[in-house]
Amino acid sequence: MRGPHNIWRLIRTGATMERTGAMKQAMDAMEAPRAFRIFARTVVWPFRWLGYRGDETLPPLTRAITALGPAYIKFGQILSTRPDVVGVDLAKQLQVLQDDLPPFPRDVAIKMVEAELQQPISELFSEFSEPVAAASIAQVHKAVRADTGQSVAVKVLRPGIEKAFRKDVDAFYFAASLIEKFSPASRRLRPTEVIAHFEGVVKGELDLRLESSSASEFAANTAHDEGFSVPAVDWALSARRVMTLEWVDGITASDIDQIIAAGHDRAALGSKVLQMFLSHALRDGFFHADMHQGNLKIAANGDVIALDFGIMGVLDEYTRRVYAEIIYGFIKKDYKRVAEVHFEAGYVPADRDVDEFARALRAVGDPIFGMDASRISMARLLSYLFEVTERFGMETRTELILLQRTMVVVEGVSRSLDPHINIWEVSRPVVESYIKSNIGPRALTRDLWRTATVLARFGPKLPQLAEALLIAQTQKAPAVEPRSNRKQALWLVAGGAVAAGIGAVIALALS
């Protein structure tokens, strides 16, 4: 329930924000009106002493969010994917939010596993360790299967986490409604929609069956990617609150000293991380959207291993083609084509001037291409690109914002492995390969084939569809001549025949 019962939680939140200095920072990011700022801080100030102190070594907002607990940490992580809402600077600050929290007792985890899998722990695992990692939503234990002796990683939700998140999400909705009511200027940021987006993401993470499904799909997509691997899901030992994966050993991608000591080629690893991400986004339209160093391991053979599949990005085929053409256009410095792609996709309103937009894009691209190779940044280019498109009236597209944020993170990982990486040179072969396969005659033939296949499915129904159309037209407009109705029915049948013909021709060509 979203109502006045949330006021106490909001007072505690506001007091913590004020005490840590995060209140002013958040107001600045949201461009809150002066009157609203004065009102909010006046209400909160008397309760300042109720706020949590937090870690004084952290920046104000990060300090406040970390002190407020798991739901706020996760909310901050989601907001870091929305620079359109909180601003670029604040989004960067939120990206450093860490999920490291005190673990809950092993005995509690065992009881949850037994309840979810409906078997005694001794029948499931011959060993079940203390927590090896603990985050805001779940923690991980290393275990050994009792029947096979295989080492596995068992992820267990925090006890009571669903209820705790529901309470905090209710408070977030209540706060969003107050902000929209008392600060009309903030409505352009759509606070309630932002909370709804957060709620959807968290609901997915609170059901580990969905994460298991994402891990399984990601593993299937990347099965033939040389040098990249995903742990296999053990479905027999997974449920709503428990997820079991094969155990993988490796060096965390952030531990550069160990990577060097192990003799790994850091330049090759940096290129591999970036190319794999682009390949997954463009080829599959399904990419790891939380690909920071903590979620990547380097195996002894040099493979990159991905972990934690709670946040995944999805791009439809058309968006992937648009994204590839935009990147390729920048690589080729063909700003007119980049501008045309934006107009063709409907990203920029048709009443804007395409040549003026192309000139604005040149102002984005040329300075970046003039930089030293080690400083060239695709993430920076995408950030500038969104600023320009916003000036030209482009509406916020959540899937592209998530893609941009992940690109920033992945680029950071690649640079930490190889500080001298040339982002464009590494990206070029992946983008060019996608362009050749998906834009041009071959892609057109494939699209026509798919269209014909869909239309051909209706072949047996064409007579009934034609008859239904005739009856409907007769009932709606009895004055219309039957000849006209027959003509429409004939066009319908002819369309189906043409579709079937196209399919046959393409089939012969492909064979």
**Angle of CA points 330, 93, 84, to nearest 5°:** 55
Active site residue 255: no
| pLDDT at residue 490, as a whole number | 54
Residues 72 and 197 in one domain: yes
For helices 354-369 and 378-391, what crossing angle results, to 10°? 160
| pLDDT at residue 85, as a whole number | 61
Residues 293 and 347 in one domain: yes
| pLDDT at residue 424, as a whole number | 77
Indicate the burial class of 510 (C-beta count within 10 angstroms; 0-12, 13-18, 19 or more): exposed
Please say whether the dihedral angle defined by the alpha carbons of residues 199, 205, 210 and 214, taken in this order, is positive or negative: positive
Residues 211 and 200 in one domain: no
Residues 294 and 378 in one domain: yes
| Pairing verdict, β 286-288 and 138-145 | unpaired
Mean pLDDT of 134-146: 91
Structure tokens at 145: 């299967």
Q: Which whole-number Å values give the CA distances from 385 to 83, 335, 388, in the listed order?
A: 13, 12, 5
User: CA-CA distance, 213 to 77, in Å (whole number)?
Assistant: 22
Average pLDDT, the chain: 79
Q: Which whole-number Å values give the CA distances from 321 to 145, 314, 427, 437, in the listed order?
A: 44, 13, 15, 10
What residue type is assigned to position 366 of the chain? Answer: D
> Given its phi and psi angles, is residue 118 left (phi above 0), alpha (psi -120 to 50 degrees) or beta?
left
| pLDDT at residue 284, as a whole number | 92
> Which of 439, 469, 485 marks a domain boundary?
439
User: CA-CA distance, 493 to 471, in Å (whole number)?
Assistant: 16
| pLDDT at residue 143, as a whole number | 96
| pLDDT at residue 172, as a whole number | 80
Model confidence pLDDT, tens digit, residues 370-426: 665 566 666 666 667 767 777 777 766 666 767 777 887 888 888 889 988 887 788
Residues 18 and 70 in one domain: yes
Q: Is it the case that residue 511 has pLDDT exceeding 50?
A: no
Least confident segment among 94-103, 210-219, 409-418: 94-103
Q: Is it the case that residue 161 has pLDDT exceeding 80?
A: yes
Residues 200 and 241 in one domain: no
pTM check: above 0.85: no
User: The domain containing residue 494 runs over which residues?
Assistant: 443-510
- Nearest residue to 300 (alpha-carbon basis) of 326, 261, 271, 327: 261
Q: Are 212 and 180 in contact (CB under 8 A)?
A: no
Catalytic residue among 99, 290, 308, 418: 290
Mean pLDDT of 133-153: 92
Q: Are 282 and 431 in contact (CB under 8 A)?
A: yes
Least confident segment among 146-155, 265-274, 423-432: 423-432
Beta strands in 61-137 (DSSP E): 125-134
Give 190's contacts (C-beta < 8 A, 6+ positions apart): none
Contacts by 116-122, CB closer than 8 A, 24 or more apart: 116/239, 116/240, 116/241, 116/242, 117/237, 117/239, 117/242, 122/146
User: CA-CA distance, 400 to 281, in Å (whole number)?
Assistant: 11
Q: Is it the case that residue 304 has pLDDT exceeding 50?
A: yes
> Which of 416, 439, 462 marks a domain boundary?
439
> Which of 409, 439, 469 marks a domain boundary?
439
Least confident segment among 132-141, 147-156, 398-407: 398-407
